[in-house]
Amino acid sequence: MSTSTGSERRTGTETRAEILRVALRLFTEKGFEGTSTRDISSALGMTKSSLYYHFKNKEEIVASLMDERRDELDEFVEWLAAQPPAPDLLRRAVLRWVSGATPERLQLMSLAHANQPIMRRLMGSGQELRSNFDRVIDLLTGEAAGPRERLLTRMAFDTVSAALLAALGTDAGPDEIIAAARDAGAALADSLTPGG
């Protein structure tokens, strides 16, 4: 018997996406350890067994969230590798990366910052996003670049994280954080561009 509420039944993919969205919100609000699978299933209006059909535990939910971020990085690297060399490539690349920041991405970054032990455990297989970003730095700086240039280039891409941390304890919302990250990233990229 159907219990239709006027909406179509969700697909498995849509259900997984909704679980990820709700779990991320709860992890951000209550902390990873403070959020139970019962909290997640209750917020979704589903049974725990339905939740377990999609994810076997909270760690798998976080791992799936991080997998999405790694997929975004892989797509970004593919785009970057296809770009012809140009004086403004670093600036365009930084702005493209920062423009992908969303309130949900800020929540994921906050989750990662606040839960370093779980992140280290989940990323112990060498899949940590920060180390995977070396591919981006290599494409932009080349082998001849020194440590300072590589570090400054990495910092240009890390402005969202820096702005998020700088916003702690302030009234800055997601839009202000992302705008500040965009400005800082562009300024760092320009400082690394000859004649910039």
Q: Which domain holds residue 51?
A: 9-56
Asked if residue 1 belongs to a domain, the reply is no
- Do 80 and 151 lie in a common domain? yes
71 and 149 co-located in one domain = yes
The answer to whether 192 and 90 have CB atoms below 8 angstroms apart is yes
Most confident residue range from 4-18, 77-91, 120-134: 77-91
Section 93-102 average pLDDT:
94
User: 3 lies in a domain?
Assistant: no
Tell me, what's the pLDDT at 156?
96
Residues 35 and 117 in one domain: no
Q: Are residues 52 and 68 in the same domain?
A: no
> Per the structure, how many domains does the chain have?
2
Same domain, residue pair 15 and 71: no
Q: Are the C-beta atoms of 74 and 97 separated by less than 8 Å?
A: no
Q: What is the pLDDT of residue 4?
A: 39
Q: What is the pLDDT of residues 57-69, one digit of tens each?
A: 998 998 888 888 8
d(C-alpha 40, C-alpha 44), whole Å: 6
The arithmetic mean of pLDDT across residues 5-29, rounded, is: 81
Contacts of 186 (CB under 8 A, 6+ apart): 91, 94, 95
Residue 176 predicted with pLDDT over 70: yes
Q: What is the CATH number of the domain that holds 28?
A: 1.10.10.60
Following CA atoms 60, 66, 68, 73 in sequence, which dihedral angle do they give, to the nearest 10 degrees? -150
Report yes or no on 28 lying in a domain. yes
84/151 same-domain check = yes
pLDDT tens figures, 22-42: 999 999 888 888 999 999 999
> Which residue is it, tokens 């059909």?
53
Residue 188 has pLDDT above 50, yes or no: yes
